[in-house]
Amino acid sequence: MSHHRVEMRDLEFAYPDGTKVLQGVTALVTHGESVAVVGANGAGKSTLLLLLSGCLLPTAGEIRIGDVPLSAGTVATIRRSVGMVFQHADDQLFMPTVLEDAAFGPLNQGLPAAEVRAAALRSLEAVDGAHLKDRPPYRLSYGEKRIAAIGAVLACSPDVLLMDEPSADLDPVHRRKLIGLLGTFAHTKIIATHDLDLALDVCGRTVVLHDGRVAADGPTATLLADRGLLAANGLDLPLRLQGCPVCGGSGSAD
């Protein structure tokens, strides 16, 4: 299923003032993979997702979603295959009700009107958010907004799901629900996150970014247990792998 593949070759991005954000990023994400992108603030994680979603275009290098190279002329095609959940849910919830937000994408994809409501409801049910369908987004808690935003993206049936800091500011209950939901999705997933414990739970592979370059790319359980690698890239061990501050006992991946 080539349309589920995401390929980056020598990817670069710089802002108009010359500030370089990504430099020579190369990676291939295959069908069904769940890949975490981690790094310190400013490493380029969010910019990478914005490029993969077509919100930004690279300064140099190439992005392919399936067999389609990303360019100004193919952005619309790319966005039919790629769904992006932004870090701040308010950036993508703008309709009067949650159900209308979930229906917005399918409507704009040309889905027959008779099927739109059913598709929107299915997506909300998939994220345990059907009870929110008649609520205005501004009346939702942060966790509820996050669920509604994911449901709205899933309503478009993307081949590739991009998520920017999906667990940011969630309480423990909503965080556990999110991790459970992500584990059920068959999509190819690329998740930019500071939550290294979420990466351990959801992603079999991790890419570490440092100053816009790939510092490491490999199995999540291996990379996130490497204290030296993490320290060199401005990161700490996941909480579950850190020693107990009271008894001094070592952490465990279990």
Q: Where are the domains of the chain?
A: 2-88+158-241
Task: Please compute the mean of the pLDDT values over residues 81-96 and round it to a whole number.
Answer: 90
**Which region holds residue 18: left if phi is over 0, alpha if psi is between -120 and 50, else beta?**
left
d(CA 233, CA 239): 17
The pLDDT, as a whole number, for residue 165 is: 93
Q: Is the pLDDT of residue 1 over 50?
A: no
Calculate the CA 16 to chain-centre distance. Answer: 26
Exposed, middle or buried: residue 61 (CB in 10 Å: 0-12, 13-18, 19+)? middle
d(CA 158, CA 187): 8
- In terms of pLDDT, which residue wins out, 206 or 169? 206
* pLDDT band per the 50, 70, 90 thresholds, residue 202: very high
**Statement: 2-88+158-241 belongs to CATH 3.30.70.1150:** no
* pLDDT band per the 50, 70, 90 thresholds, residue 245: low
Determine the length of the chain.
Answer: 254
The answer to whether 137 and 98 are in contact (CB under 8 A) is yes
Of 23, 68, 67, residue with least CA distance to 43: 23
